[in-house]
Structure 1
Amino acid sequence: MAATDKSGIRLTSDYLAEHATARPNEIALVDEGQEITFGRFYDDLRRTVRALSTLKLPQDAIVSVEFLGLYRPWLLQLGFECLGIANASYADAHDQGTLKLLLDRSDLVIHLGDAPATEAPCLHADTKWWRNLFRRKPGELPFPPDPHTPARVVCSSGTTGEIKVIPQTLAQLDFRGRTYGDLLGFDSETRFMVGMGFAVQLDQLLAATCLRRGGRCHYAGILAAPDAINFCSPTHALLLPMHLPTLLGEGAPANPDGFLTLAITGGHVADAVRARLLPEYPHRLVEAYATNETSIIADMDADSVGTILPGVTVEIVDDEERPLPQGAPGRVRVKSPGNTEGYLFETETEMFKDEWFYPGDIGQIDTAGRLHLLGRGDDIINLRGLKVNATNYEQGLVSLPGIVDAGILSARDENGLDILLVALVLEPGRKLEALKDLLAKHLPTDVIGISVAQIQQIPRTATGKLQRHALAAQIAGMK
Structure 2
Amino acid sequence: MNITNTIWRNCNAHPDRIAILYEGQPVNYGALRVAVERASARLAATGITRGDVVALSINSRLAYLIVLLALARFGAVATPVSVGLSEKQREELVAGARVHSIILDQDDGWRSNSSPVTRYLEAAALLAAPADGERFDVPPVVQGLDEEPWLIALSSGTTGRPKRSPQPHGRGTMLASISPRPDQDDEGRVYVFVSLGIEYGITAAMRQLYRGGTTVLTQTSRPETFFVSVQRDQPTRVVTTTGSASSLVAYAKKSLSESPKICAGIKSIMVAGSFVSPALREGIVNRICSRLEVDYGSTESGSLAMSTPETYALRPKSVGRLNAWVHAEAVDENDQPLPPGQSGLLRFKSPLVTKGYLDDEQATARAFRNGWFYPGDTGFVGAAGYLFLRGRVDHIVNLGGNKIDVRLIEQFLDDQPEIIESAVVPVNRGTGAQVLVAVVEARAPFDAEVLKRLCREHLGNVYVPDAIVKIDALPRNESGKVKRLALAASIKFSADQAVSTERKE
TM-score range, shorter chain: 0.7 to 0.9
The reply on whether 1:218 has 2:235 as its aligned counterpart is no
* 1:103 aligned residue: 94
Aligned residues: 465
Superposition deviation, residue 40 in structure 1: 1.4
8 Å contact from structure 2 (residues 263, 288) kept in 1: no
> Given that residues 419 and 441 in structure 2 are in contact (C-alpha distance below 8 angstroms), is that contact kept between their aligned partners in structure 1?
yes
Q: Percent identity?
A: 23
- How far apart, in 2, do the equivalents of 1:277 and 1:22 lie? 37
Q: 1:93 to 1:334 in 2, by over 3 A?
A: same
Q: Give the whole-Å Cα distance in 1 for the aligned partners of 2:87 and 2:318.
A: 34
Answer with 170-179 or 387-396: which moved more.
387-396
After superposition, the CA RMSD in angstroms is: 3.1
Hey, what does 1:115 align to over in structure 2?
109
Q: 2:192 aligns with which of 191, 194, 214?
A: 194
Alpha-carbon separation, structure 2, partners of 1:184 and 1:29:
24
Q: Distance in 2 between matches of 1:472 and 1:276?
A: 27
Secondary structure in structure 2 of the residue aligned to 1:183: coil
Per-residue CA distance 1:335-363 (angstroms, 9 max, x = gap): 22211111112233321212221111101
Residue aligning to 2:500: none
Q: Secondary structure at the match of 1:331?
A: strand
TM-score (normalizing by structure 2): 0.82
Of 336, 343, 347 in structure 2, the residue corresponding to residue 329 of structure 1 is: 343
The match for 1:175 is 174
420 and 99 in structure 1: CA distance in 2 versus 1, 3 angstrom threshold: same
Q: Partner letter of residue 451 of structure 2?
A: L
Aligned counterpart for 1:56 among listed residues 21, 40, 47: 47
Please say if 1:316 is aligned against 2:313: no
Most deviating of 207-216 and 465-474: 465-474
Counting only pairs closer than 5 Å after superposition, residues 124-273 of structure 1 correspond to structure 2 as 124-125=121-122, 127-131=124-128, 136-137=135-136, 139=138, 141-180=140-179, 183=181, 185-187=183-185, 189-222=187-220, 223-224=222-223, 225-245=226-246, 246-247=248-249, 248-249=252-253, 250-251=255-256, 252=259, 254-255=261-262, 258-273=265-280
- CA separation of 1:478/1:202 partners in 2, compared to 1, >3 Å: closer, same or farther? farther
- List runs of 5+ in structure 1 lacking aligned partners: none
Other-structure match for 1:76 = 67
C-alpha spacing 1:444/1:286, structure 2 compared with 1 (3 Å): farther
For the 8 Å contact 1:326–1:366, the answer to whether it is kept is yes
Distance in structure 2 (CA, Å) of the matches to 1:415 and 1:96: 34
- Structure 1 residues 65-91: Cα deviation after superposition (integer angstroms, max 9, x where no partner): 123223322221111111111101233
Q: Which residue in the other structure is 2:455 paired with?
A: 443
SS across alignment from 1:316: strand
Distance 2:477 2:454 in 1: 26
1:46 aligns with 2:28: no
One-letter identity of the residue aligned with 1:169? P
Instruction: Tell me the distance in 2 between the aligned counterparts of 1:416 and 1:91.
Output: 36
Q: Flag the 1:275–1:411 CA change in 2: closer, same or farther, 3 A.
A: same
- Could you say which residue in structure 2 is the equivalent of 1:458? 474
The alignment's TM-score, normalised by the length of structure 1, stands at: 0.86
CA contact (8 A) 1:230 1:253 kept: no
Query: Partner of 1:291 in structure 2?
Result: 298
Question: In the alignment, is the contact (CA less than 8 A) between 1:393 and 1:442 conserved in 2?
Answer: no
**1:34 counterpart = 2:25:** yes
1:364 equivalent among 372, 376, 380: 380
The CA deviation at 1:129 is 4.6
CA contact (8 A) 1:408 1:422 kept: yes
Contact 2:396/2:405 (CA < 8 Å) preserved in 1? yes
